[in-house]
Amino acid sequence: MALPKRLLYISIVSAAICFAIEWHCNADSDWQLDDSSPVISDEEEIELGKHVDEYIRHLFYLENDPEFNEVVNNIVQRVAAVSERNTLHFTCAILQSLTINAFSAPGGHIYLTYGLLKFAQTEDEVAGIVGHEVAHASLRHVSKLYHEVSETISRHEKGIDSATNLLLLNDHLEEFEQDADTTGVSYAQKAGFNPKGLLDFLERHLNVIIHKGMFGMFSISGSNSNFAINSRINHLKEYISALEKE
């Protein structure tokens, strides 16, 4: 049975928006991510992105200070310029929210909260976060997610129970996050920023979550967030130490 278009659309949109959420499950599986050609064309991705962007701009007030926006957008353009999808028109909106969060929508739309920018101590940290979001676009995660959602539905139809299904999906989404981290760090470095920016940011953020019981970046799934951020930190440390040896 084909998934109703509307449901698929909603699934993709919600998951794309939630790329910033940590994914913490580890299912034993030899099921690999499919790297075949994209199932969503550039045109479809851009069109989908327009709708998501309109929706987000309805949900949030935007920070309009021109100087603040210029500084952030300069970082975005420098990082996007060195990515494999530098033909995409990347934009960045600053959301008037004191939570610490970042996410992206298809087609090159990036959103950073005011709280995140206040928490960041250096441009290198912001560049690391922006790199992560640009990497979601250049790694074509929206298209892969579309494929993942279709696979999940087909497994459900084959009678695989929903808990196993969710574990598999989460496991692959965690891979997306780690890939976006390392690819994003490489972009930040190519753009002239310190590649440790994202790692510094995540470590300080984790520290705040642990000591103040705060929820912030990537923490919607609550109590498991420490585990997820820790796993990203460890993955990043390995990657950066390999970079330093090159």
Strand order in the sheet with 91-95: 91-95, 109-113, 102-105
Choosing from 15, 19, 106, 142, the residue that interacts with Zn ion (CB under 5 A) is: 19
Q: Nearest residue by C-beta to Zn ion?
A: 19
Stretch that binds Zn ion, among 11-19, 60-68, 146-154, 202-210 (CB under 5 A): 11-19
On the 0-12 / 13-18 / 19+ scale of CB atoms within 10 A, 231 is middle
Stretch that binds Zn ion, among 15-23, 92-100, 120-128, 227-235 (CB under 5 A): 15-23
> Shortest Cβ distance from residue 180 to Zn ion (Å)?
5
> Shortest Cβ distance from residue 173 to Zn ion (Å)?
9
User: Residue 111, interface with Zn ion (CB under 5 A)?
Assistant: no
Give CA torsion, residues 176, 232, 238, 113, to 10 deg. Answer: 90
- CA–CA–CA angle 164, 148, 80 (5° rounding): 130
Stretch that binds Zn ion, among 40-48, 142-150, 169-177, 236-244 (CB under 5 A): 169-177
Residues 173-192 that bind Zn ion (CB under 5 A): 177, 180
Facing residues of 94 across strands?
112
> Shortest Cβ distance from residue 67 to Zn ion (Å)?
27
Q: How far apart are CA 5 and CA 44, in angstroms?
A: 14
Binding mask 114-143 for Zn ion (x = CB under 5 A): ------------------------------
- The H helix count followed by the E strand count for the chain is 9, 3
- CA–CA–CA angle 166, 175, 238 (5° rounding): 140
> Shortest Cβ distance from residue 236 to Zn ion (Å)?
13
What Å distances lie between residue 218 and 18, 202, 229, CA to CA? 8, 10, 8
User: Residue 201, interface with Zn ion (CB under 5 A)?
Assistant: no
Contact residues for Zn ion, defined by CB under 5 A: 19, 177, 180
